[in-house]
Amino acid sequence: MQTCDRLTAERFAIPTIQLMRAASSAVAQFARERFPEARRVTVLCGRGNNGGDGLMAARLLAGAGLEVTTVLLGAPENFAADAAIAWQELRAASVRIEIATTSEELARLAPSFDCDLLIDAVVGTGFKAPLRGLALEALPLVQKSKKILAVDLPSGWSADLTSPDAKSVVYAADAVLTFTAPKPAHLFGHLTRRWSDPVAVAPIGSPEEAIVSRLHLGWAGDALALARQARATESYKGSFGHVLVVGGSYGSAGCKTGAPSMTSLAALRAGAGLVTAAVPAPALALVAAVAPELMTVPLECAAHGGLNEANLVPERLEALLARKTVLAIGPGMGQSAETIRFLSGLLLAAEVPVVIDADALNILAELPRLFKELIQNQKKIILTPHPGEMARLAGKTVAEVQADRLTVAREYAQRRGVTVVLKGARTIIAHADGRAAVNTSGNPAMAKGGSGDVLCGLVAGFVAQYPDETARAVEAAVALHGLAADLAVQKWGEHSLLATDGLQLLGRALEIPSIQSFHNEPQRGYVCIQGMQGNSPSQAECEHRNERAGA
């Protein structure tokens, strides 16, 4: 961001004070939109440029008729260059200003923190942990505020954070508004915040040419633009691919028919033109009942119920793979010796992109030679492991995977030449070329059996529709999966949500605009990368509804 601001000023002749004015305007407008019930506002400022954003926002909010108190931490001297201008402008306005240079002065200002909304503008992207001095001493006072809006970053976060750290001392935040582009902390700092609290990114005038990152890290939500494209008028079912789902088991060792059923239904809901489920013959009726649009193929199975190598007879194998454009394999299929032989033969015979999930991942972890042969055949391979499966694939412990999910997924994807979808809170999508994307949609209600099977189907369905844009298709599927669940949890709640509930809301999720605008000016809009900004009722609305219902 320092480089971006410098290039904006030097190469494009846009003064940095102009960027600060745009940032403060975005803060003021976002505060009024997100917290419309707030009348008493306290803006807590440091002396850097993050504080400058707050000082200017305080003046704008006071001008809008709110009761604003500005609290400056530290003596009014040695400001950052643009912050000094913001301070002079604030002093010239009719805004209440309080200054705390000592612990005693800060304690005296405690009543100022008992407000409707506190705007945290203490430290921003230049901050290096940990919090210290007055910023640290203000922490218990900040917690007295009813609502908190963080400018750029909640104070205490390191902008470069790439692994969640629940132990850091940080300010709370009910919403975060950052500028120009998200920073790693916005994607990975989730353990200190509720999933539904919005994180939004506002453009402030930096030219696209000045926004350069060497992190090769993106936001999965950007790929949703792919899924929102209108279909061509002359489209037909063959235009959107044919997904083959292979999995399931049915026998003495147990019945796993739900997994391939959910994967198949998800592929249909994702928009694939055709979906065929190939499952053990005794399970066919159960799987076919999931949707009349689903086609099925009965497969031979062993006595224990798993698929076996009898299905590899050339003519049967050829018929199974004919005209299919994507293979999704693994859900519910088991790991018997017969199933392993069938899986190996099918994967080697398939010449289409393959989405590998569940039991198939665990089999591959035990068959490195098979994996090597698949890669040598230059197949497009997408792996969708949860942390336990990732640990087995990478030869690590689950704790090691969770300690640095981004690095583990990225290094494995590059080494193997595959795409890895490492599931969990903040799913990582890592590609063979070293690029990675982080998903910020989704919620704890998704921690339930079947969620992975649904995601497998969504990924396969999107890859079928966009065969020339596999990377974006996978990212779009992951983002949409979480976004639909965010909508669904409002209806069914975190405890009662089922893995398939979100499938009913995929269409609505695609209709949610990513861009909200200030004053109906698209160039001043913001992108909400977390939470349901603009789609969830405010606290005041909820209280009003409860009152009317007699609750």
> Quick one: three-class SS letters along 22-44?
HHHHHHHHHHHHHCCCCCEEEEE
**Residues 28-82: tens digit of each pLDDT:** 999 999 999 999 999 999 999 999 999 999 999 999 999 999 999 999 999 999 9
d(CA 111, CA 67): 14
Contact 168, 136 (CB under 8 A): no
Identify the three-state secondary structure at position 238: helix
Query: Over the chain, what is the mean pLDDT?
Result: 91
Backbone φ and ψ of 448, nearest 5°: -155, 145
Between the CA of residue 29 and those of 24, 58, 63, 526, what are the distances in Å?
9, 11, 12, 11
Residue 162 vs residue 80, higher pLDDT: 80
What's the predicted TM-score (pTM) here?
A: 0.91
Mean pLDDT of the region 298-326: 94
pLDDT digits (tens, 9 = 90+) for 239-249: 999 999 999 99
**Contact yes or no for 329/246 (Cβ under 8 A):** yes
Residue 475 has pLDDT above 80, yes or no: yes
Element (H, E) at 368: helix 368-376
**pLDDT at site 519:** 33
CB 161 within 8 A of CB 404: no
**Helix ranges, 237-305 (H):** 258-270, 284-288
Residue type, 544: H
Q: What is the pLDDT of residue 545?
A: 34
Q: How confident is the model at residue 212 (pLDDT cuts 50, 70, 90)?
A: confident
Residue 165 pLDDT:
63
Task: Say what the pLDDT of residue 352 is.
Answer: 96
3-state secondary structure of 387: helix
Could you tell me the pLDDT band of residue 512, with boundaries at 50, 70 and 90?
confident
Cα distances from 11 to residues 3, 20, 320, 473, 484, in angstroms, run 11, 18, 59, 35, 42
Cα 275 from Cα 326, distance rounded (Å): 10
